[in-house]
Amino acid sequence: MKSFKEIYREAENKIAGLAAAPGIVIGRAHLFTKEKVEINKSEITDIDQAINNLDEAVEKSKKELNKIFSIAREKMDEKRAGIFEAQLMILDDPILFGNIKDRIKTEKIQPEYIVSDEISKYQELMIISSESYLKERALDIEDIKFRIIRNLQKKRWQSRIEKEMIVISESLTPADTLLFSRVDTLAFVTDHGGLTSHAAIISRSLNIPAVVGTHNASKMIEDGQSIIVDGFHGYIITSPSEEQIEFFKYKQERLKQLQVDLKEFKEKPAITTDGRTINLEANVDVTGEIDVVITSGAKGIGLYRSEQILDELGEYPNEEEQTNIYSKLASRMYPDFCTIRAFDIGGDKFRLFDYREPNPFLGLRGVRFLLENKSLFKTQIRAVLKASATKNIKFMIPMISTIEEIWETKKLITECKAELRKEKLEFDDKIKLGIMIEVPSAAIMTRELAAEVDFISIGTNDLIQYMMAVDRGNDLVSNLYQEFSPVNIRTIYHIVQEAKLQKVPVSLCGEMAADTLAIPLLVGLGLETLSISAATILYAKKIINSFSYELAKKLADDCVASKTEKEIQDKVVKFFEENNITRTRNII
Ligand code: PEP
Ligand code: MG
């Protein structure tokens, strides 16, 4: 079986866009073209009648929106349904409608023209904003504008389409998206709209695959044409070949099976029996994994090992290529966060240049390599910043061992921000910067290092290796590579306490968090966020739901005071038995 990458490389019948809502759909296209609204600017004689008409149209619009709002509340969570509440609030804006009425009285022109003109002023302010969020909101306001005008003209909303079609449109309003979902629309494809567009958010909420921002899909696809929409990768295949249909049908089957297996736990939060919520994020090592992350119930990506891109490509991608990769990632995860870790090059990982080090693990690795190769580092920083306009990216630095490394990195980030500002490029000015604590010197200095950053993440894979002076990949000394060593447990305890002193969020993203046996102990040590492989998330949820934080804390206190790995392991196993927790690993 070919990979997605190969399928798309070979396909000449593809249209690329942004992957806005995951899923794979094979079906027929319905071209949705909005009626052109003609706005009448003629003079009026009866002002009272015009104002009456306006009041009626606003009332009718409120009724329609209230109906949509109640459907939204049924189908989506409160936060997302709030989009329609915000639209309703505009209809109640006394200043806006006060102005409109004053102008009708003084200018004596049809209300529809004045409504259009006044609301357009609102929109223009939003469109010229540098915030992509506000730009998207301008589209929502367009919806309000045309709703009032349509009601002034006493026309009905046209959206009658057959069931189970793929809706292709230049753009879609949140209300269009919601109403189409009522006729079991299979997927949405739009020319315009970004990932923060509400239509995209609503598609994700309603579980309807969507590809947005295709530029010209509505011109290239014909009404009734057979197409495939891949909301995982952001592609549309038009008039697919037998081979393409077979490939995507197979992928659909695999997804179905995965979803059945995952269903039971997906919606459940990870919460201890006494009410402590644990955030479970996903570690991502290969691009293909993101599909699984999205269906895994993870709350975002806690660790995206960006050096995997170098492994996959076999070369160093330029700024544009990186920006594309990170933007896609952020869009797939939106509105959840993804933590992109700067290239952790060196050690046992990808090497860019063919140089030999006698002790690679103690050599030019992670941030050390990056600070030695500043232009390479800056390219990545700029790409991450450029992709951060959606405001759901965090940036994390690996292998920090001194505070100066943080200072130097921050200096480069400041430089890159200044450059982008000069180039008038959008980015998240408040992007959160974090560090990994995976070197003993950093662990000891946690308090001071934490004061410099927005978050920290403990990387036990390396921390154990460096604390115990044991190569993480060397079988000969694997008996010394001890997750449950008192050294490791006390170090984690120390890091968590020190970070909390500085009120800096701390998570753990080493493999230890995916060892379900370690989960109660980690929760007891005070960790509230764990980043683990997507495949383990549901099982971790099940475990977390079966013990109390109070008991886990007692277990952790007990383990912190223990002397050997065996003592700690025995206590943990006993904890599982006493709390009746099953130890089967990886339910998937
Ligand atoms: C770690 O060291 O724990 C970690 C998560 O980073 P990596 O395994 O990529 O070195
Ligand atoms: Mg590491």
pLDDT tens for 343-355 read 998 876 666 555 6
Looking at per-residue pLDDT, the higher value among 50 and 71 belongs to 50
Which three-class secondary structure state does DSSP give residue 553?
Answer: helix
Q: Count CB atoms within 10 A of the CB of residue 70.
A: 12
The reply to whether 147 and 179 lie within a common domain is no
For residues 536 and 514, is the Cβ–Cβ distance under 8 A?
yes
Average pLDDT over residues 19-30: 89
Q: What is the pLDDT of residue 264?
A: 75
- Beta sheet of 14-16, edge-to-edge order: 14-16, 235-238, 226-230, 24-32, 166-169, 187-190, 210-212, 18-21
pLDDT averaged over the chain?
88
Does 329 lie in the same domain as 409?
yes
Q: Within this chain, do residues 476 and 372 fall inside the same structural domain, yes or no?
A: yes
Regarding predicted confidence, which is higher, 153 or 347?
Answer: 153
Task: List, in order, residues 6 or more apart from 482 with CB less than 8 Å away.
Answer: 464, 468, 488, 565
Please tell me which residue, 507 or 20, carries the higher pLDDT value.
Answer: 507
Residue 335 Cα to ligand 1 middle (Å): 25
How remote is the CA of residue 481 from the centroid of ligand 1, in Å?
A: 14
Of 117 and 290, which is predicted with more confidence? 117
pLDDT > 90: percent of the chain:
55
The protein residues having their C-beta less than 5 angstroms from ligand 2 (an ion) are: 438, 459, 462
Record the tokens describing residue 492, joined without a space: 């984690």
For residues 189 and 130, state if they share a domain.
no
Q: What are residue 286's phi and psi, to 5 degrees?
A: -130, 150
- 73 with 200, same domain: the answer is no
> Which of 285, 286, 304, 305 best tests ligand 1's pocket when mutated (most atoms within 8 Å of CB)?
305
pTM higher than 0.75: no
pLDDT at 353: 58
Instruction: Indicate the pLDDT class of residue 587, thresholds 50, 70 and 90.
Output: very low
| Cα 437 to ligand 1 centre (Å) | 10
The closest ligand to the CA of 459 turns out to be: 1
Domain boundary among 109, 136, 152: 152
Q: Residue 259's pLDDT is what?
A: 63
> How many CB atoms lie under 10 A from the CB of residue 257?
11
Extract the tokens encoding 262. 């995952």
> Which residues are part of the catalytic machinery?
198, 509
Around ligand 1, the residues with Cβ closer than 6 Å are 303, 305, 344, 438, 459-462, 509-510
- Between 474 and 464, the more confident residue is 464
User: Is residue 548 domain-resident?
Assistant: yes
- For residues 145 and 166, state if they share a domain: no
Residue 143, SS3 per DSSP: helix
What does the pLDDT average to over 386-409?
Answer: 97
Which residue range(s) make up the domain with 103? 47-152
Among 310-314, 364-368, 446-450, the least confident range: 310-314
**507 alpha carbon to ligand 1 midpoint, in Å?**
13
Q: How far apart are CA 349 and CA 219, in angstroms?
A: 45
Does residue 223 contact residue 361 with C-beta atoms inside 8 Å?
Answer: no
pLDDT tens for each residue of 313-326: 767 899 999 999 99
CATH number, residue 91: 1.10.274.10
Average pLDDT over residues 276-301: 81
Residue nearest to atom 8 of ligand 1 (CA): 461
Q: Is residue 263, in this structure, part of any structural domain at all?
A: no
Neighbours of 479 (CB within 10 A): 9
Of 127, 152, 177, the one marking the end of a domain is 152
Q: Is residue 585 pLDDT above 70, yes or no?
A: no
Domain end residue (candidates: 126, 152, 178): 152
Band of the pLDDT at 160, cuts 50, 70, 90?
Answer: low
Work out the pLDDT band at 217, boundaries 50, 70, 90. Answer: very high
Do 210 and 304 belong together in one domain?
no
How many residues make up the chain in this entry?
588
574 sits in which H/E element? helix 565-578
Q: How far is CA 528 from the centre of its chain?
A: 20
Q: Which two tokens stand for residue 531?
A: 């980043």
